[in-house]
Amino acid sequence: MLLALCWGLLEATISKEDNGTSPLTSMSHEERLASLESRLESSEKAVSHLKSLIGAQPPVAFSVALMDEGSTTGDYGPFPLLTILPYKKVFANVGNGYNPATGTFTAMVRGVYFFRFTMFTSGTPNAVACIRKNTVFLVCLWDVKGYAGYDSGSNAVVVPMGVGDSVNVMLEANRTVNDNQSHLNTFSGFLLFPM
């Protein structure tokens, strides 16, 4: 598209084969120079605009953990209802799409995103957590009480997101996760490419 724009501007200005028919050839040298400068400025603005449309990928990335420095360690939950895990420790929030008050990431750029979460549990009771986009569960992680009691796992998904779509990690009703200052429960995501 950029090449077509430049080609069109080149054809509209000077052609070696115009045989004196170009409007520029009937102007004085100063008029031609002023006209070319104006067209160059217009072309530079158009190129700049096109670069902003197809140029560099906007930076969007976040990485958070369930408990921050002031949190009490141990089990989080159980709750009688499905609950959004409110990841409070923010390691990175480039683009400010993640809201630690709600535990929710909201896309400000339409594109394809990668999301991943880890879950650690003491096994009392077993743990079930899922990544949810808007109101749809995408991927889940289920852990039942094992021999040692403590266990961890991870799950991830690549998903298209529109502007305003939201993603969070939901803890199933009557389940727990366990965390401490080692940040055993994390949630991360980033934009792979805009659409």
Question: What is the structure's pLDDT at 61?
Answer: 98
Task: Look at residue 58 in the predicted model and tell me its pLDDT.
Answer: 80
pLDDT of residue 5: 42
Hey, what domains does the chain have and what are their CATH numbers?
Answer: 2-54 (no CATH), 61-194 (2.60.120.40)
Whole-prediction pTM:
0.70
Decide: 97 and 58 in contact? Cβ < 8 Å. no
Report the pLDDT value the prediction gives residue 28, as an integer from 0 to 100: 81
* Grouped pLDDT means (10 residues each) for the chain, 195 residues: 42 48 69 81 71 72 91 84 95 97 96 96 81 97 74 94 98 90 94 93
Confidence at residue 29, expressed as pLDDT on a 0 to 100 scale: 78
| Peptide bond connecting 125 to the previous residue in cis, omega within 30 degrees of 0 | yes
pLDDT at 14: 45
Q: Residue 24: its pLDDT value, please?
A: 58
Question: Can you give the pLDDT at residue 16?
Answer: 46
Exposed e or buried b per residue across 118-152, where buried means at least 16 C-beta atoms within 10 angstroms of its C-beta:
bbbbbbeebbbbbbbbeeeebeebebeeeeeeebe
